[in-house]
């Protein structure tokens, strides 16, 4: 019984420490004319070198929406800032839109034409954990609410998955 109690305390300690872990702050720089799905592929030796501004990670999203980076995935309490970046390097902060599952089951948006970030915080892994080609990822959508549905069509998803297959070597058959 003492062993079981020790295991329980160890698991409780691990859970508590991971819940209190603070992730590195992150800044996302997105081309001002970009709308669509963004996918960040982590821990890739062929990826963009790590960039910091002060203590913040910087992710410069390319025009195709797929960033391959040498950064490892980031866990813990997140501090994220998203910006549209213009040709003169001027930045405009983008709003992160929240989905209200408690009261209304809909996006909380004042202006359906305002461009912002949808599905913030989605992450996962492409491939099986034992596959050496598997890749941890993060995904979100840059759009306004009025155009959001266009990024969930079969054609858009197939085209995006084709780009991912070329980069990762994994097969994405999501039918």
Q: What is the pLDDT of residue 166?
A: 86
| In a domain? residue 50 | yes
Over residues 118-125, mean pLDDT = 91
Structure tokens at 72: 């490892």
Instruction: Answer whether residue 17 shows pLDDT above 50.
Output: no
pLDDT (tens digit, 9 = 90+) per residue, 21-55? 889 999 999 999 999 999 999 999 989 999 999 99
Structure tokens at 83: 């910006």
Buried b (16+ CB within 10 A) or exposed e, 111-148: eeeebbbbbbeeeeebbeeeeeeebbbbbbbbbbbeeb
Q: Token pair 């069509």 is at which residue? A: 153
| In a domain? residue 130 | yes
Instruction: Identify the weakest region by mean pLDDT among 13-17, 82-86, 138-142.
Output: 13-17
Q: What is the pLDDT of residue 173?
A: 56
Over residues 157-164, mean pLDDT = 91
| In a domain? residue 10 | no
Number of neighbours of residue 160 by Cβ within 10 angstroms: 19
| In a domain? residue 32 | yes
Banded model confidence at residue 92, pLDDT cuts 50, 70, 90 = very high
Domain range for residue 135? 21-168
| In a domain? residue 43 | yes
pLDDT (tens digit, 9 = 90+) per residue, 93-115? 999 999 888 877 788 898 999 99
The whole-angstrom separation of Cα 56 and Cα 64 is 23
| In a domain? residue 9 | no
Structure tokens at 109: 């948006």
Banded model confidence at residue 171, pLDDT cuts 50, 70, 90 = confident
**For 13, left (φ over 0), alpha (ψ -120 to 50), or beta?**
alpha
| In a domain? residue 1 | no
Instruction: Answer whether residue 119 shows pLDDT above 50.
Output: yes
Q: What is the pLDDT of residue 128?
A: 80
Q: What is the mean pLDDT of the chain?
A: 85
Structure tokens at 116: 């912002």
- Mode of pairing for the β-strands spanning 66-68 and 36-41: parallel
Counting the structural domains of the chain, the total is: 1
Q: How much of the chain exceeds pLDDT 70, in percent?
A: 86
Predicted TM-score of the model (pTM): 0.83
| In a domain? residue 11 | no
């Amino acid at each position: 019984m003492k062993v079981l109690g020790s295991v329980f305390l160890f698991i409780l300690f691990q859970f508590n420490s991971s819940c209190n872990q603070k992730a590195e702050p992150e800044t996302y720089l997105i081309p001002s004319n970009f709308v669509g799905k963004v996918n960040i592929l982590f821990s890739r030796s062929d990826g963009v070198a790590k960039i910091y501004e002060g203590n913040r990670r910087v992710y410069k999203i390319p025009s195709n929406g797929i960033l391959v980076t040498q950064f490892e995935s980031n866990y813990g309490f997140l501090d994220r800032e998203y910006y549209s970046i213009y040709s003169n390097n001027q930045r405009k902060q983008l709003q992160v839109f929240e989905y209200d599952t408690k009261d209304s089951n809909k996006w909380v948006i004042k202006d359906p034409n305002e461009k912002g970030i949808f599905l913030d915080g989605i992450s996962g892994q492409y491939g099986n954990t034992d596959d050496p080609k598997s890749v941890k990822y993060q995904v979100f959508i840059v759009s306004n609410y009025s155009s959001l549905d266009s990024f969930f069509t079969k054609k858009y998803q197939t085209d995006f998955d084709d780009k991912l297959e070329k980069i990762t070597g994994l097969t994405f058959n999501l039918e």
